[in-house]
């Protein structure tokens, strides 16, 4: 009878929020070592400095698939996430990062996804006191309460520092095989990864752009200047030099790669400017603009080109293959050109 009961015992399925970093990797490993089936869920975001869509390799989501054989799913953030950035219930971190509200948002999405795939519980790679805004004890408790996961959100790396979940109390998860890590050091995680030949060296992921001073200046301008917020608009904020001149947003490419990106990311009505006859940047004007704003954008275009004179020509239009308009512009007050930079 005991053997039959053991055979009928259901394999527990855990849905893990995974970033590709060391913490989520080792959290998955700990549960797999208990015979729990792990499914990974990654949220794709334009605010990640590295990740699946960035072309960078610091975040190692591939290890979850190749070394641990974990099934991965990807969910994008929705436009409503931008409203959270504009008005977070629990405030910001150092810059424009709504860390607690962000965790609540993605865990609500994860909770819905858990039901779709019939997983038994949700876990994360969070470590108590590793991040000052979102991983202190009060913040962890707020998140659980807001999402409706009180006593049901497993954090394997810091489990011994926290109250047991119902899964530990019911004996479905062996609490003794979980850890009690606290603080910023990742020494224990690294030792575990090396022991199981998952990773020899660890390089931190790039993190969230909403913590970056330069980017958040542009983001604040975007939130202030746009009533309807669209996630697709965020990618262009990561490219070029940005200027706000009255109601106009002016973006100037810094190299060939950024010039190409601007052309790919521009909207149909955006105006394109380029210096005539000399190598230089692609400049985009977004929003409403008058002659004064246009002249300012033209001067920036010439200023960052290879033009050696104080007077030059710009060509412009909404179609890069048909920049049929032309204007002569004199670069004036060069010291004030950067006055409106974001």
> Residues 91, 207: contact at Cβ < 8 Å?
no
Amino acid 307: pLDDT:
93
Q: How far is CA 242 from the centre of its chain?
A: 20
- Classify residue 200: in a domain, yes or no: no
Output 179 or 54, whichever has higher pLDDT: 179
Q: Are residues 84 and 164 in the same domain?
A: yes
Question: What's the N-to-C CA distance of the chain in angstroms?
Answer: 71
- Classify residue 217: in a domain, yes or no: no
Nearest to 78 by CA among 106, 55, 49: 106
* Residue-wise pLDDT tens digits, 44-70: 999 987 544 444 445 778 889 999 999
Q: Are residues 286 and 187 in the same domain?
A: no
- Classify residue 208: in a domain, yes or no: no
- Classify residue 124: in a domain, yes or no: yes
DSSP summary character for residue 336: G
Q: Which of 169, 195, 221 is the last residue of a domain?
A: 195
Distance between CA atoms of residues 294 and 297, nearest Å:
5
Structural domain span for residue 39: 2-195
* Residue-wise pLDDT tens digits, 231-288: 999 999 999 999 999 999 999 999 999 999 999 999 999 999 999 999 999 999 999 9
Q: What is the pTM of this model?
A: 0.89
> Residues 47, 151: contact at Cβ < 8 Å?
no
Q: Are residues 29 and 167 in the same domain?
A: yes
**Cα 203–Cα 196–Cα 120 angle in degrees, nearest 5:** 90
Alpha-carbon dihedral sign for residues 163, 165, 166, 168: negative
Q: Are residues 41 and 180 in the same domain?
A: yes
Instruction: State mean pLDDT over 74-85.
Output: 96
3-state secondary structure of 282: strand
| 297 Cβ contact partners less than 8 Å away, ≥ 6 residues apart | 243, 245, 248, 250, 271, 273, 283, 285, 289
CA atoms within 13 A on the CB side of 79: 8
Domain harbouring 64, CATH code: 3.40.50.620
- Classify residue 272: in a domain, yes or no: yes
Distance between CA atoms of residues 242 and 239, nearest Å:
8
Q: Indicate the number of domains in the chain.
A: 2
Q: Which of 143, 163, 195 is the last residue of a domain?
A: 195
* pLDDT class of 332 with cuts at 50, 70, 90: confident
Distances (CA, A) of 199 to 95, 107, 193, 285, 287: 32, 27, 5, 46, 48
> Alpha-carbon Rg of the chain, whole angstroms?
25
Q: Are residues 186 and 265 in the same domain?
A: no
Q: Are residues 190 and 246 in the same domain?
A: no
Amino acid 338: pLDDT:
83
pLDDT over 60 (residue 200): yes
Q: Are residues 267 and 135 in the same domain?
A: no
- Classify residue 18: in a domain, yes or no: yes
Distance between CA atoms of residues 201 and 60, nearest Å:
12
- Classify residue 210: in a domain, yes or no: no
Q: Are residues 116 and 244 in the same domain?
A: no
Q: Are residues 82 and 175 in the same domain?
A: yes
Q: Which of 166, 195, 224 is the last residue of a domain?
A: 195
Q: Are residues 29 and 152 in the same domain?
A: yes
Q: Are residues 191 and 245 in the same domain?
A: no
- Strand-pairing partners, residue 1, are none
Write 93-96 long-range contacts (CB < 8 A, 24+): 93/132, 93/133, 93/134, 93/211, 94/133, 94/211, 95/210, 95/211, 95/212, 95/213, 95/216, 96/210, 96/211, 96/216, 96/219, 96/220
| 191 Cβ contact partners less than 8 Å away, ≥ 6 residues apart | none
Q: H/E element holding 300?
A: helix 291-303
DSSP summary character for residue 10: P
Distances (CA, A) of 270 to 91, 241, 250, 302: 34, 16, 10, 19
- Classify residue 14: in a domain, yes or no: yes
* pLDDT class of 205 with cuts at 50, 70, 90: low
Q: Are residues 335 and 280 in the same domain?
A: yes
* pLDDT class of 336 with cuts at 50, 70, 90: confident
């Amino acid at each position: 009878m005991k053997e039959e009961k053991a055979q009928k015992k259901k394999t527990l399925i855990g849905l893990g929020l995974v970033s590709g970093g060391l913490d989520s990797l080792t959290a998955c490993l700990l549960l797999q070592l208990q015979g729990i089936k792990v499914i990974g869920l990654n949220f794709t975001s334009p605010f990640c400095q590295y990740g699946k869509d960035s072309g960078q390799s610091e975040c190692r989501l591939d290890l979850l698939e190749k070394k641990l054989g974990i099934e991965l799913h990807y969910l994008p953030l929705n436009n409503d996430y931008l409203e959270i950035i504009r008005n977070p219930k629990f405030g910001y971190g150092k810059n424009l990062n709504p860390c607690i509200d962000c965790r609540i948002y993605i865990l609500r999405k994860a909770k819905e996804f858990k039901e779709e795939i019939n997983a038994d519980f949700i876990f994360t790679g969070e470590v108590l006191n590793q991040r000052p805004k979102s991983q202190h004890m009060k913040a962890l408790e707020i998140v659980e309460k807001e999402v409706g996961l009180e006593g049901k959100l497993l954090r394997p790396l810091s489990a011994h520092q926290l109250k047991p979940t119902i899964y530990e109390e019911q004996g479905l998860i062996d609490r003794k095989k979980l850890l009690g890590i606290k603080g910023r050091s990742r020494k224990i995680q690294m030792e575990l990864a090396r022991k199981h030949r998952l990773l020899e060296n660890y390089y931190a992921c790039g993190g969230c752009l909403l913590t970056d001073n330069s980017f958040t200046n542009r983001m604040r301008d975007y939130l202030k200047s746009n009533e309807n917020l669209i996630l697709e608009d965020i990618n262009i904020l990561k490219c070029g030099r940005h200027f706000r001149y009255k109601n106009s947003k002016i973006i100037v490419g810094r190299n060939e790669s950024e010039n190409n990106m601007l052309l790919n990311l521009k909207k149909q009505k955006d105006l394109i400017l380029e210096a005539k006859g000399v190598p230089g940047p692609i400049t985009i004007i977004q929003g409403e603009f008058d002659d004064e704003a246009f002249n300012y954008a033209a001067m920036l275009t010439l200023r960052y080109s290879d033009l050696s004179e104080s007077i030059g020509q710009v060509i412009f239009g909404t179609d890069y293959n048909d920049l049929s308009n032309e204007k002569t512009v004199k670069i004036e007050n060069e010291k004030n050109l950067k006055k409106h930079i974001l």
